[in-house]
Amino acid sequence: MKKLMTLALAAIMMLGLVGCGSKKEEQANVDLTGFYNSLATEYGWDDNTMANLTDDPELLEMYYPGLSEINTTQLIAKAPMMSSVVNEFVFLQCETEEDAAKAAEILQTRITAQAEGGAWYPESMEAWGRGVVDQQGTYVAMIASAEYQEDITAKWQAQFQ
């Protein structure tokens, strides 16, 4: 009887451990093109106002040195046609969280460089100083917008809640 009771308790404990084991949170599946397109529709951006930096590998490397070496499954990089306008976005998904962290570092370097004088104009540097890089698992966003910073950041983060 004691053996049977011991086996039963052991089985219950094993089931408890399996039930309490570390659970990896499921990550949202976000369509970054759809996300950017919804922003573009809402704010009236089109191909005449926003350049697609992924169309020009040299330009992408100039803006974000090293980013092209990171494996991405989705990559959206947009900047305004007029450089005095602070409205630059990168939305990407990497294959691993480690790659996402590397991408986040690269994007933060862009924000810091622009805020510390690369943007030239005091108002532009101030806007860049409010820019954010946000990593959500394998997803990363760089959001720098003089007009819509808080709104776009909130919309980005809402996708992962």
Mean per-residue pLDDT pooled into runs of 10, the chain (161 residues): 42 44 62 98 94 95 97 97 89 98 98 95 96 98 97 98 93
Residue among 135, 154, 132, 151 at smallest CA distance from 143: 132
Q: Where are the domains of the chain?
A: 29-158
Q: Transcribe 125-146 into DSSP letters.
A: HHHHHT-EEEEETTEEEEEEET
> pLDDT at position 13, please?
45
**pLDDT at residue 84, rounded to an integer:** 77
CA distances from 37 to 30, 81, 159 (A): 13, 17, 15
Asked if 50 contacts 79 with a C-beta cutoff of 8 angstroms, the reply is: yes
Residue 83's pLDDT is what? 72
